[in-house]
């Protein structure tokens, strides 16, 4: 499929730590629309739900997360797709950190913003939006799987982590963004190609969020283990933190190269 809406970023202008050098980085030509969607989502959340603290989401000084994650998004859909993604991030980050008493109040206010988002998605393309929303409903209800902590090896942890990350939801948000109609059978077959990409995403997420997750684990943990690849590698191989990070980096490179090979 030819690339119509994105350009390749010169690899000499950014540092990927050598993790994904086998995969070219593309950025959407209309990335400002992604920034607009992220900012609008944050403003709506503050107005309709509550304050936002220590949250960045898709925004960054150079590349918007969705502008590089879905570089071939139809331009007319880029703002709402980023809005939806930002809402999902806010939902996870903020609702995970509110007390039980506040949770119900936030949940009610969040539902108003969610209804607004659903209407916007339906206006774009109702049949494709319904497929996306069905996956989203499953993700919110926990079909992505509850968090488990007692994994002994990375091979045990990674398949669960990929599902927990919302693999099905991400597949559907990408297909909605690109205006693709794909059956469940076709989506299942596509997993043979995309599985290493999701593994790369899961490992990279665990790698770059390690410090944040470890602080939260030490402050609020109800378990003796963490659901993080770095932690599991330290236990599995009896290595220190720095060596575990090196091993995780190698795994990221391997899965990225495997995705390129299958693709």
The set of residues, in sequence order, having a beta carbon less than 8 Å from that of 28 and lying 6+ positions away, is 5, 6, 34, 64, 66, 67, 68, 70, 71, 72, 73, 75, 78
150 and 116 in a single domain? The answer is no
161 and 259 in a single domain? The answer is yes
- Whole-structure pTM value: 0.89
29 and 98 in a single domain? The answer is yes
pLDDT at position 143: 47
138 in a structural domain: no
Segments forming the whole domain that contains residue 104: 1-124
- Banded pLDDT at 163 (limits 50, 70, 90): confident
115 and 148 in a single domain? The answer is no
10 in a structural domain: yes
216 in a structural domain: yes
Query: For the chain, what percent of residues have pLDDT higher than 70?
Result: 92
pLDDT at position 97: 65
Domain of residue 83, CATH code:
1.10.600.10
Element (DSSP H or E) covering residue 249: helix 241-262
17 and 106 in a single domain? The answer is yes
The radius of gyration computed from the CA coordinates of the chain, to the nearest angstrom, equals: 19
107 and 193 in a single domain? The answer is no
Q: Count of domains in the chain? A: 2
The yes-or-no verdict on residue 99 having pLDDT over 70 is no
Higher pLDDT, 136 or 32: 32
73 and 152 in a single domain? The answer is no
27 and 85 in a single domain? The answer is yes
**Residue 227: how many CB atoms within 10 A of its CB?**
19
117 and 151 in a single domain? The answer is no
**Residue 230: how many CB atoms within 10 A of its CB?**
21
């Amino acid at each position: 499929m030819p690339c119509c809406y994105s350009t390749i970023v010169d690899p000499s202008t950014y540092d990927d730590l050598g993790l994904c050098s086998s995969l070219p980085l593309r950025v959407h030509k209309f990335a400002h629309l992604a920034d607009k969607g992220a900012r609008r989502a944050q403003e709506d959340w503050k107005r309709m739900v509550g304050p936002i603290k220590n949250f960045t989401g898709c925004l960054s000084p150079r590349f918007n997360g969705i502008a590089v994650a879905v570089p071939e998004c139809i331009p007319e859909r880029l703002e709402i797709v980023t809005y939806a993604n930002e809402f999902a991030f806010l939902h996870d980050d903020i609702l995970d950190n509110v007390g039980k008493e506040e949770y119900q109040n936030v949940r009610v206010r969040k539902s108003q913003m969610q209804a607004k988002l659903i209407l916007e998605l339906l206006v774009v393309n109702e049949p494709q939006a319904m497929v996306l929303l069905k996956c989203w409903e499953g993700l919110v209800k926990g079909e992505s799987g509850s968090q488990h902590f007692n994994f002994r090896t990375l091979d045990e942890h990674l398949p669960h982590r990929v599902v927990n990350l919302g693999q099905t939801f991400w597949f559907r948000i990408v297909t909605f963004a690109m205006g693709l109609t794909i059956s469940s059978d076709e989506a299942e077959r596509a997993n043979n190609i995309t599985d290493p990409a999701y593994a790369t995403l899961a490992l990279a997420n665990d790698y770059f969020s390690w410090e944040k997750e470890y602080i939260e684990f030490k402050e609020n943990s109800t378990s003796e283990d963490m659901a993080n690849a770095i932690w599991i590698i330290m236990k599995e191989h009896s290595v220190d933190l720095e060596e575990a990070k090196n091993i995780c980096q190698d795994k990221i490179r391997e899965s990225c190269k495997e995705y390129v090979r299958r693709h």
